[in-house]
Amino acid sequence: MRLLSLVAGKLTLALLRATGRTGSALPGRVVETLSPKFLPHMLAQLPQGVLIVSGTNGKTTTTKLVAKLLASQGLRVLTNPTGSNFVRGIISAVVDKASWRGRLDYDIAVFEQDEAHAVHFAKMVTPRGVLVLNIMRDQMDRFGEIDTTLKLLEKLARAASDFVVLNANDERVSTILVDDAVKTVWYAHSEDLNAAFLSDDQLYHGAAANYALGGEPSVVLTGYDEASVSLLVQGSPHRYQYQLMGGHNAQNLAAAIAVLFQLVPEPDTSELAKAILTVEPAFGRGEIIQLPEGGELTLQLVKNPGGFTQALRMLELKEYATIGIAINDDYPDGRDVSWLWDVDFSAIKQPVLCGGARAADMANRLKYDEVKTLASYNDLDAYQKAFHERAASEGGHAILFCTYTAMLKLRSKYFGVASGLAEEGQ
* pLDDT band, residue 365 (cuts 50/70/90): very high
Q: How far apart are CA 340 and CA 321, in angstroms?
A: 23
Where does a domain end: 278, 307, 340? Answer: 278
268 and 221 share one domain: yes
For 304, the domain range is 285-418
Where does a domain end: 238, 259, 278? Answer: 278
Least confident range of 1-5, 165-169, 375-379: 1-5
For the domain that residue 314 is a member of, what is the CATH number?
Answer: 3.90.190.20
pLDDT: is 203 or 11 the higher one?
11
409 part of a folded domain: yes
pLDDT computed for residue 207 by the predictor = 64
Average pLDDT, the chain: 90
For the domain that residue 8 is a member of, what is the CATH number?
Answer: 3.40.1190.10
130 and 26 share one domain: yes
165 part of a folded domain: yes
153 and 170 share one domain: yes
For the cut 80, the answer to whether the pLDDT of residue 421 exceeds it is no
pLDDT: is 345 or 4 the higher one?
345
226 and 194 share one domain: yes
181 part of a folded domain: yes
352 part of a folded domain: yes
Each residue's pLDDT tens digit, 13-44: 888 888 777 667 788 788 888 888 889 999 99
For the cut 70, the answer to whether the pLDDT of residue 141 exceeds it is no
* pLDDT band, residue 420 (cuts 50/70/90): very low
153 part of a folded domain: yes
305 and 267 share one domain: no
Q: How far apart are CA 309 and CA 209, in angstroms?
A: 15
- Tell me the residue ranges of DSSP E strands in 309-358: 322-326, 352-355
**Cβ neighbours around 319 below 10 Å, total:** 9
316 and 336 share one domain: yes
Cα-Cα-Cα-Cα torsion 343, 349, 350, 355, nearest 10 degrees, comes to -10
423 part of a folded domain: no
* CA-based radius of gyration for the chain: 21
Q: How far apart are CA 168 and CA 362, in angstroms?
A: 33
24 and 168 share one domain: yes
Percentage of the chain with pLDDT > 70? 93
pTM over 0.85, yes/no? yes
Total number of domains in the chain:
2
From edge to edge, which strands make up the β-sheet containing 322-326? 285-290, 296-301, 397-402, 322-326, 352-355, 373-377
Q: How far is CA 354 from the centre of its chain?
A: 24
Where does a domain end: 246, 278, 310? Answer: 278
Nearest to 387 by CA among 277, 300, 297, 276: 297
Q: How far apart are CA 396 and CA 300, in angstroms?
A: 17
